[in-house]
Amino acid sequence: MGYEKSAQYYDLFGEKPDISYYKHLGKQYGAALEVGVGTARVALELAKAQVEVWGIDNCEQMLEVARQKISLQPAAVQKRISLVTAEMTDFELSRTFPYIYIPSSGLSHCITTEDQLNCLKCIHNHLEKGGLFAFDLMLPGQSYSTALTLIDTKEVEGDVVRRWICHRPDFTNQLLHTTLIFEVYTQQELTKRIVESSTVSLIYKRELLLLLDKANFTVQHLYGDFSRGEQTTDFLVVEAVKP
Ligand SMILES: C[S@@+](CC[C@H](N)C(=O)[O-])C[C@H]1O[C@@H](n2cnc3c(N)ncnc32)[C@H](O)[C@@H]1O
């Protein structure tokens, strides 16, 4: 939930400093699975870098954007990327991978502890022995913008698209409710307004480490950014292996 109506605008606002990190690991391992692949923003870069990459997602609209982007690529790149519609809490693919990754805090889309463990179990099942599971996660923050706030303005094909955000944290239930509003202006007239609502879980660091332990992963590294710097904020990059 949260991407159906606005999938076409995801990449417009999707710039993040994560691609070289996930791609570098992909090149080391040669084959990869991305969980919550979305528009293939990251997966496509791995495929272009000779990595055979599979991606799963449960949002058809996001996968459709991905398919359109992939169809514009050379045949060799198209051949290296496979997309599957599947739930991250319950998937069964026909093969295993030496490297599985989740960018953009995708694990937080698993709302309950049971969902989180099911997702980790599926990843464990699809990871080769000794394989790497890498992901990033926004931990619960100190403050959230609870007022509707304009966070981005972009131009696309002569239109101006404005993105507004409003958060409602529920610390009792460890949930973060978010409303995103996309406003499209054509010649300065508001021509489209998309309201997208979503809920993700707020997972604390100690809780995450317990979940990984329970799912039989061995945590090798915890970083604070994609340059492998020390963790100093509420952002975490995790590298865990299947022993
Ligand atoms: C923040 S987006 C990240 C997309 C892509 N990985 C990226 O980094 O650009 C999270 C993605 O997870 C997908 N997703 C959310 N819940 C899911 C679930 N239960 N099963 C599979 N995919 C899910 C969404 O559809 C969305 O494409």
In the chain, residues under CATH classification 2.20.25 are 149-201
Residues 138-163 pLDDT 10s: 999 878 989 999 999 999 999 999 99
From atom 9 of ligand 1, which residue's Cα is the shortest distance away? 41
Look at strands 189-201 and 175-186 and give their pairing.
antiparallel
CA distances 232 to 21, 107, 136, 144, 228, Å, are: 19, 21, 14, 18, 12
Is residue 168 over pLDDT 90? Answer: yes
Query: Which of 37, 45, 92 best tests ligand 1's pocket when mutated (most atoms within 8 Å of CB)?
Result: 37
Alpha-carbon distance 163 to 154, whole Å?
9
pLDDT, residue 2, reads: 84
Q: What are the backbone angles phi and psi of residue 137, rounded to the nearest 5°? A: -150, 130
pLDDT, residue 145, reads: 84
User: Ligand 1 within 6 A of 87 CB?
Assistant: yes
CA distances 58 to 41, 83, 104, Å, are: 16, 11, 16
* For residues 198-214, average pLDDT: 98
In the chain, residues under CATH classification 3.40.50.150 are 7-139+203-241
Residues 224-239 pLDDT 10s: 999 999 999 899 999 9
pLDDT, residue 1, reads: 73
pLDDT, residue 193, reads: 97
Secondary-structure breakdown of the chain: helix, strand, coil percentages, each rounded to the nearest 5: 30, 40, 35
Query: Which of 21, 57, 196 best tests ligand 1's pocket when mutated (most atoms within 8 Å of CB)?
Result: 57
CATH tag for 7-139+203-241 (out of 3.40.50.150, 3.40.50.970, 3.40.50.2000, 3.40.50.300): 3.40.50.150
For the CA of 103, the nearest atom of ligand 1: 8
For the CA of 3, the nearest atom of ligand 1: 25
* For residues 95-123, average pLDDT: 98
Beta carbons within 8 Å of 164's beta carbon, 6+ residues apart:
148, 149, 150, 151, 180, 181, 182, 183
Residues 177-187 pLDDT 10s: 999 999 999 99
CATH tag for 149-201 (out of 1.10.8, 2.20.25, 1.10.10, 3.40.50): 2.20.25
Look at strands 175-186 and 159-170 and give their pairing.
antiparallel
Strand partners, 235: 138
∠ at Cα 82 (78, 86), nearest 5°? 150
Q: Helix or strand or coil: residue 64?
A: helix
* For residues 203-212, average pLDDT: 98
Residues 131-143 pLDDT 10s: 999 999 999 987 8
* For residues 214-223, average pLDDT: 98
pLDDT, residue 141, reads: 86
Is residue 7 over pLDDT 90? Answer: yes
Is residue 95 over pLDDT 90? Answer: yes
Residues 58-94 pLDDT 10s: 999 999 999 999 999 999 999 999 999 999 999 999 9
Tell me which of 212 and 2 has the higher pLDDT.
212
Residues of the chain above pLDDT 70, percent: 100
Name the one residue in this structure whose structure tokens are 């480490």: 209
Beta carbons within 8 Å of 187's beta carbon, 6+ residues apart:
none
H or E element that contains 214: helix 205-214
Please give the full DSSP string across 129-158, using - where no structure is assigned: EEEEEEEEEEPP-S----S-EEEEEEEETT
Average pLDDT score over the chain: 97
